[in-house]
Structure 1
Amino acid sequence: CARLCLSNMVCSVEVISSGFFCWETGSQPGFVSDLLYRVLKLLWKFMRSYRMHLNPNWGLSLHVFILLQFCHRLLCLSLFNPRPIKRGDILPPEKGREVAKELGIPYYETSVFDQFGIKDVFDNAIRAALISRRHLQFWKSHLKKVQKPLLQAPFLPPKAPPPVIKIPECPVPSVNEAGYLLDSPLCADVMFVLQEQDCIFAHKIYLATSSSKFYDLFLMECEESSNLDETQCNKENTSKDVLTSHLETNYDSDEISLKSVDVKIPAPENTDSLNTLKPEPGETIFAARSLSSWGKGFVSVHKEMQVNPVSNRMCPVTVVKMDSSVQAGPFKTVLQFLYTGQLDENEKDLTRLAQIAEILEVFDLRMMVENIMNKEAFMNQEITKAFHVRKANRIKECLCKGTFSDVTFKLDDGTINAHKPLLICSCEWMSAMFGGSFTESLNSEVVLPNINKTSMQAVLDYLYTKQLSSTQDLDILELIALANRFCLPHLVALAEQHAVQELTKASMSGIAIDGDVLSCLELAQFHNANQLAAWCLHYICTNYNSVCSKFRKEIKAKSSDNQEYFERHRWPPVWYLKEEDHYQRVKKEREKEDFALNKHHSRRKWCFWNSSAVVA
C-alpha cells in the first residue's frame, strides 16, 4: 500500500510558503486512483545499465497519471547496488536525460552522500505543483510569478585528497644482531688476549663509540703507527692490498717482502699459490707499546696478522693484552654491554662485573650493576637511553671524520670511508657483500659505479643514524634510486616524503612544479617509489588542464598505462565538461525563450492600453 513519507512539510519557493505531503506508492499504480497528486516523482532504482529502458510498468503508470489533469511529472534516478560494479555500469547523466526526453519530463540527479540535488528536486516539484494550481486559481497574482522547473547545474565532484605518504616502521638493528656480531666476529679488527690464553675478537667501531676509554686507546694506537700512513691507519687494513702487489723474493735469504706496484698482478691460479702471498699468522707489523702507565687493566698494544675465526682469512688486527686480573667471562659481558647497551639482570657474578667495569671506566655499566644490586633495576632504562644517544652521536662523528674506518667506497666523484661492522648490521645488501664470498669482502676498497658522493653520503648517514639528512646538493631521485638499489624501503619512504614536502612547499610559494612532477613520475615508478608516483599521478590529474596546456608533448610521451590513468582520473572529469557545456547551451536557449516571451507579453500589454486610449 501507499506509505506516507513526509507530512505537512513547509517549504518556501518563489517567496511562497507551501505545505506538502510525500507519498510512496511502491511501484503500484493502482493506488493513484485513490489520491489526487499534483506532482509525480518517478524514483527508479536500477542495478545495471541494461535496465535503463522503458518497461511496461512505466507505461501503465504514466497512462493512469496522464488521465489526472494538471499532474506534472519529474524523473529522479538513484543507483541501488551494494555489490561491486564495473566501470561500464556507471551511467553518465546524458543517459538519464534521454529517458526523460522520451517521457517528456524534467530530469534531476540527487546524491544523498554528497547532499547534492535533493533541494532542487523538492523545490522544482513544488514549482510544478504551483504551476498546475495557477490554471485553477488564475486570479491569484502571486502564482503568476512562479517559474517553471529550473535547470539543474551539473555536479562537480570534489578533488580527491592527495595520498598520504606512509612511513613504514623503522628497521632498527636489533640488539641480537650486534650481539651476534660479537659472538661471530666477522670483519673483526681488534683481539683481546686475556691471561695469556683466551682470545676475544671484537670491532673497534663498536667499542670506541660506546666507551671513551677504548676510543682513546684505539685513537692513540692509530696515531702512533709510524709504519702506516694516515690513510692506512684510518682503514686499519693493510693485507687487503695483497692481490694488487707482487713478491720480490731474495734467494740469498728466506725473507719475503711485499711491494706495492701500479700494475695489477693477475690472481693466483690456485689457493696454494694464494697462501704463499700471505704473511705468517702472528707476524707483528709494528712494535708493541706498554699500557701499564696509561690505564688499569691494560698491558700492551700492538698490531699483527691474524686469521679471522669466521672467514678464515688473514687480516691485520690490533692486539690488546689485558691484565691477568681481567677474567674472560666478566670481560665478555662488558663487551656485550658495549655492543648492545643492555645488561641481563640475572647475571651471576655482579660484584666481579662491577670491578671490571670500574677498571675499564665503563661507568654506565657500573651504575646499572649497582642499581640491580640495590633492587632498583627500573632506573636502568634512562641509563640505556642516554647510552644509545651518546653512541649514535659518536658514530655520526666517526662517519664524518672517517675514524676507525675499514673500507673505502670509490664513487664517480670521490671516495667515502665507512665501517663494515656497522654496515653489516644495518643493511642486508651490505651484509651479503661483506659477509659472503664476494670479492668485496676481501678488499679495503669497493668500487660503486654510477653513484655520486652526495647520494652515498646520505645513504651512509641513514644506515648509521636511521634518519634522512638532506642537503641542497642532494638529488632526491638519485637517492631514491640508490636506496632501491640497496634494498632500503624505509629510506625510500623517507625520501618520498621529503620530495612531496619540497614540491608542496614550492607550489604554495607560487613556483611552477608541473614540469618537475612530470619528470619525477616515471622515475619514481621505475625505482619502486610507489607512494611518490601515486602523489605525482594525483597532482597531474587534479591539475590536468594546466599541465596539459603547458606540456602536451610530455603528456603524450608517457606510457599508455599512465595516459589511461590520466583520462580516467582527470579533474574535472570529461563527463562533467560535457554536462557543463550542455547546461550552458540549454541555459542560453531558455534565456532566449524567456526574453522573447517577456517581449511578447510587453507588446500585448502596451497594445491593450493604447487601444483603450483610442476608445476613450
Structure 2
Amino acid sequence: RPIKRGDILPPERGREVAKELGIPYYETSVFDQFGIKDVFDNAIRAALISRRHLQFWKSHLKKVQKPLLQAPFLPPKAPPPVIKIPECPVPSMNEAGYLLDSPLCADVMFVLQEQDYIFAHKIYLATSSSKFYDLFLMECEESPDFDETQYNKENKNKDVLTSHLETKGDSDEASLKSADVKIPPPESTDSLNMLEPEPGETNSSARSLSSWGKGFVSVHKEMQVNPVSNRTCPVTVVKMDSSVQAGPFKTVLQFLYTGQLDENEKDLTRLAQIAEILEVFDLRMMVENIMNKEAFMNQEITKAFHVRKANRIKECLCKGTFSDVTFKLDDGTINAHKPLLICSCEWMSAMFGGSFIESSNSEVVLPNINKTSMQAVLDYLYTKQLSSSQELDTLELIALANRFCLPHLVALAEQHAVQELTKASMSGIAIDGEVLSYLELAQFHNANQLAAWCLHYICTNYNSVCSKFRKEIKAKSSDNQEYFERHRWPPVWYLKEEDHYQRVKKEREREDVSLNKHHSKRKWCFWNS
C-alpha cells in the first residue's frame, strides 16, 4: 500500500528507542547517500571503545573518540517547475479551405463567365497575392465609404428576401452553401432582382480593369446576400475575363488560402495559365515543378509563401487594412478581420459564425478589456507568437487569453511572466510581493503553471517572504497556507533537528572542556609528587 505521511516516524521516536538501548542514533538514506559513512565510522568507534574496557593497556585505543554527533540532513531546494508550452495549434489549412467552401463573412465575389459566382475574403487573397493586394487596396482608396443609402431599395426588401430564402427546400439551401454559388439571372428570380442595381448605377460605379491587368474586367461594390448567413452585406464584385474558368480559378483561390497544391491536380497546364494571368508566381513555379517531376522543390516555395503571408497579415493588423470589424475597448478601438479570427479562435468563431448579434455587426463592444492586452491577443491569433511590450500587463493578458479559451497563449504568457520575474530577481530586485500578488490571480485564471512557480518561489524563500509579508501570507486561502506548511524550505522538521543538534553539540563541548580541565589537573598532581 502507498506510504502516508502518518506512516513515517519522526526522529524523536528513533532517539527514544536508541536511548532505551543505550546506543547512539543515526539516520541514513540510500537514495541521497546520506549518513551511510557516518553509521559505519561511528559503529567502528563504538566497537573500539567497548574493546578499550577489556584491553585498557593498548595505547592506541585511548585516542578513539566516542561516536560523533550527526548533523541533520538538509534536503536540497526543489528545482523550480519548468513552464511547458503545449504544442502550438498549427494554423489549420483545412479551416482556411473550409472558409472558402463555406464563405462566412465573405466580402468579395468573383463573377466568372456571367454564370459562376465565387465568394471569398479580401484578407486571405490580399495577404497571399500582390496582385489582389493592389486590386483591393485600389478599390478601398477609391470608395473608402460605401454609400449604402443608394441601395435603400434593396435594404427595404432584404427582410422579404431573407424570408424567401428561408422557405427554400433543403436542396436550395445546400446549393447556396456550395463553393461555386449559382445565382439565377435577375429576370428569373424576383427576390434576387431586388439586389441588382439599376443598369445606370452599375455602369457608373464599376471601374474597368481591362487595362490594369489580364483576366480582370471590372470591379465595383454592391449589396449581396451571403450564401451561408443569408444576411445582406456590402461586397466587392470582381468580374473576371471569359477566359478564366471556374475550376482552375477555384484551385488558385484554394492555394492562396492554404498555400497547398494537390500534386494529383488534373489540368495542370490550364492551372499554370491562370496562375500566370493572375500573377500568382509561387503557384506557377509549383505547377512547373510537378510537371518536371521535381515536386520536392515545392517545400521551399511553400515555406517562403507562408513567411511572406505572415508578414503581410501582421502589416494589415497594424494598419487596419481590409478590416471588417472594430473592437470597442475600455481605452480605444482596434480593427481586425473576421475571417482570420474565425479560423484561429473557437471563441471568435462562435461569436462571428453563429447566431449572435456580433456576427452581423461591424462594431463589437468588449467590456473590461484594454487596448494593449487585446492587441497582444490579436497579434498571437494572427502570428501564433507572443509580442510583449513594456506596457503589457501579463496577468491581464492571461485573464484575456483564458476568457478567449486560448491555452497555448496562456502558457506563453506564463513563460514570459516567469522569465521577467527571474530576470528581476537575478538583478537584485525584490520580487517577493509581486510573486504573492501573482499567486491567487494566476490560480483564478487557470494559469496553473505560473501558480505552481509562485508556490515554489514562496516555499523556497519562505523565511524571507514571511518576515516581510506575514499578513499577506496569513490572508491566503487555507489550501495555499497548507501547501506552504508542507513544502516550505527549510522544512519544519529540519529546523527542529537543527535546534536539537546545536543544543546537544553545546552540551558535548561543555563536557569536553570540563574533562580536559580534569585531565590537566591530574597531570599537574603527577609531576608535583
TM over 0.5: yes
Matched residue SS, 2:391: coil
Matched residue SS, 1:320: strand
Aligned pair in 2 of structure 1 residues 553, 456: CA closer, same or farther (>3 Å)?
A: same
Could you tell me which of 103, 108, 128 is aligned with 1:185?
Answer: 103
Measure, in 1, the Cα distance between the counterparts of 2:380 and 2:309: 15
8 A Cα contact 1:245 1:264, kept in partner: no
In the TM superposition, what whole-angstrom CA distance separates every residue of 1:461-488 from its partner, at most 9, and x where no partner exists?
Answer: 0000000000000000000000000000
In the TM superposition, what whole-angstrom CA distance separates every residue of 1:17-40 from its partner, at most 9, and x where no partner exists?
Answer: xxxxxxxxxxxxxxxxxxxxxxxx
Aligned pair in 2 of structure 1 residues 469, 241: CA closer, same or farther (>3 Å)?
A: farther
8 A Cα contact 2:102 2:178, kept in partner: no
8 A Cα contact 2:119 2:179, kept in partner: no
8 A Cα contact 2:126 2:136, kept in partner: yes
Matched residue SS, 2:150: helix
Q: Displacement, 1:291?
A: 0.3
Measure, in 2, the Cα distance between the counterparts of 1:167 and 1:530: 12
Aligned pair in 2 of structure 1 residues 497, 234: CA closer, same or farther (>3 Å)?
A: farther
Q: Displacement, 1:237?
A: 14
Aligned pair in 2 of structure 1 residues 249, 555: CA closer, same or farther (>3 Å)?
A: closer
Measure, in 1, the Cα distance between the counterparts of 2:137 and 2:104: 22
Q: Displacement, 1:609?
A: 1.5
More helix by share: 2
Aligned pair in 2 of structure 1 residues 357, 169: CA closer, same or farther (>3 Å)?
A: same
In the TM superposition, what whole-angstrom CA distance separates every residue of 1:408-466 from its partner, at most 9, and x where no partner exists?
Answer: 00000000000000000000000000000001011100000000000000000000000
Q: Displacement, 1:324?
A: 0.3
Q: Does 1:439 find its partner at 2:379?
A: no
| Bigger Cα displacement from structure 2, 150-159 vs 94-103 | 94-103
| Bigger Cα displacement from structure 2, 206-215 vs 155-164 | 155-164
Matched residue SS, 2:165: strand
Measure, in 1, the Cα distance between the counterparts of 2:422 and 2:67: 45
Q: Displacement, 1:393?
A: 0.4
Q: Does 1:533 find its partner at 2:451?
A: yes
8 A Cα contact 1:225 1:286, kept in partner: no
In the TM superposition, what whole-angstrom CA distance separates every residue of 1:574-596 from its partner, at most 9, and x where no partner exists?
Answer: 00000000010011111111111
Q: Displacement, 1:272?
A: 17
Q: Displacement, 1:243?
A: 17
Q: Does 1:152 find its partner at 2:79?
A: no
In the TM superposition, what whole-angstrom CA distance separates every residue of 1:513-572 from its partner, at most 9, and x where no partner exists?
Answer: 000000000000000000000000000000000000000000000000000000000000
Measure, in 1, the Cα distance between the counterparts of 2:472 and 2:30: 40
Matched residue SS, 1:343: coil
Q: Displacement, 1:95?
A: 1.4
Q: Displacement, 1:139?
A: 2.9
Measure, in 1, the Cα distance between the counterparts of 2:14 and 2:406: 52
Aligned pair in 2 of structure 1 residues 165, 278: CA closer, same or farther (>3 Å)?
A: farther
Aligned pair in 2 of structure 1 residues 422, 231: CA closer, same or farther (>3 Å)?
A: farther
Match runs of 1:589-604 below 5 Å? 589-604=507-522
8 A Cα contact 2:176 2:228, kept in partner: no
8 A Cα contact 1:454 1:474, kept in partner: yes
Measure, in 1, the Cα distance between the counterparts of 2:36 and 2:247: 81
Equivalence for 1:343 = 261
Measure, in 1, the Cα distance between the counterparts of 2:349 and 2:170: 45
Measure, in 1, the Cα distance between the counterparts of 2:505 and 2:285: 84
8 A Cα contact 1:429 1:487, kept in partner: yes
Name stretches of at least 5 consecutive residues in structure 1 with no aligned partner.
1-82, 611-615
Q: Displacement, 1:140?
A: 2.9
8 A Cα contact 1:305 1:317, kept in partner: yes
Matched residue SS, 1:306: strand
Measured on the aligned residues, the alpha-carbon RMSD in Å equals 7.6
Measure, in 2, the Cα distance between the counterparts of 1:327 and 1:266: 18
8 A Cα contact 2:187 2:193, kept in partner: no
In the TM superposition, what whole-angstrom CA distance separates every residue of 1:1-27 from its partner, at most 9, and x where no partner exists?
Answer: xxxxxxxxxxxxxxxxxxxxxxxxxxx
Scaled by the length of structure 2, what TM-score is found? 0.90
- Report how many aligned residue pairs link the two structures: 529
8 A Cα contact 1:506 1:512, kept in partner: yes
Measure, in 2, the Cα distance between the counterparts of 1:336 and 1:263: 16
Identity %: 94
Equivalence for 2:288 = 370
Aligned pair in 2 of structure 1 residues 252, 449: CA closer, same or farther (>3 Å)?
A: closer
Q: Displacement, 1:123?
A: 0.6
In the TM superposition, what whole-angstrom CA distance separates every residue of 1:26-69 from its partner, at most 9, and x where no partner exists?
Answer: xxxxxxxxxxxxxxxxxxxxxxxxxxxxxxxxxxxxxxxxxxxx
8 A Cα contact 2:115 2:183, kept in partner: no
Measure, in 2, the Cα distance between the counterparts of 1:310 and 1:263: 11
Matched residue SS, 1:433: helix
8 A Cα contact 1:248 1:256, kept in partner: no
Q: Displacement, 1:600?
A: 1.2
Aligned pair in 2 of structure 1 residues 488, 234: CA closer, same or farther (>3 Å)?
A: farther
Aligned pair in 2 of structure 1 residues 531, 246: CA closer, same or farther (>3 Å)?
A: same
Q: Displacement, 1:137?
A: 2.9
Measure, in 1, the Cα distance between the counterparts of 2:10 and 2:273: 83
Aligned pair in 2 of structure 1 residues 601, 535: CA closer, same or farther (>3 Å)?
A: same
In the TM superposition, what whole-angstrom CA distance separates every residue of 1:57-102 from its partner, at most 9, and x where no partner exists?
Answer: xxxxxxxxxxxxxxxxxxxxxxxxxx42111112221111111122
Q: Displacement, 1:292?
A: 0.3
Aligned pair in 2 of structure 1 residues 264, 197: CA closer, same or farther (>3 Å)?
A: closer
Aligned pair in 2 of structure 1 residues 527, 226: CA closer, same or farther (>3 Å)?
A: closer
Equivalence for 1:136 = 54
Aligned pair in 2 of structure 1 residues 104, 258: CA closer, same or farther (>3 Å)?
A: closer
Measure, in 2, the Cα distance between the counterparts of 1:136 and 1:268: 123
In the TM superposition, what whole-angstrom CA distance separates every residue of 1:94-146 from its partner, at most 9, and x where no partner exists?
Answer: 11111112222111000011110001001101111221222233233332221
Aligned pair in 2 of structure 1 residues 589, 274: CA closer, same or farther (>3 Å)?
A: farther
Q: Displacement, 1:157?
A: 0.7
In the TM superposition, what whole-angstrom CA distance separates every residue of 1:259-291 from its partner, at most 9, and x where no partner exists?
Answer: 999999999999999999999999869701000
Aligned pair in 2 of structure 1 residues 556, 200: CA closer, same or farther (>3 Å)?
A: same
8 A Cα contact 1:286 1:304, kept in partner: no
Scaled by the length of structure 1, what TM-score is found? 0.78
Measure, in 2, the Cα distance between the counterparts of 1:214 and 1:506: 47
8 A Cα contact 1:283 1:304, kept in partner: no
| Bigger Cα displacement from structure 2, 224-233 vs 163-172 | 224-233
Could you tell me which of 391, 402, 405 is aligned with 2:323?
Answer: 405
Aligned pair in 2 of structure 1 residues 483, 147: CA closer, same or farther (>3 Å)?
A: same
Aligned pair in 2 of structure 1 residues 472, 278: CA closer, same or farther (>3 Å)?
A: farther
8 A Cα contact 1:245 1:261, kept in partner: no
Measure, in 2, the Cα distance between the counterparts of 1:419 and 1:155: 61
8 A Cα contact 2:107 2:235, kept in partner: yes
Measure, in 2, the Cα distance between the counterparts of 1:200 and 1:484: 37
Could you tell me which of 360, 378, 392 is aligned with 2:278?
Answer: 360
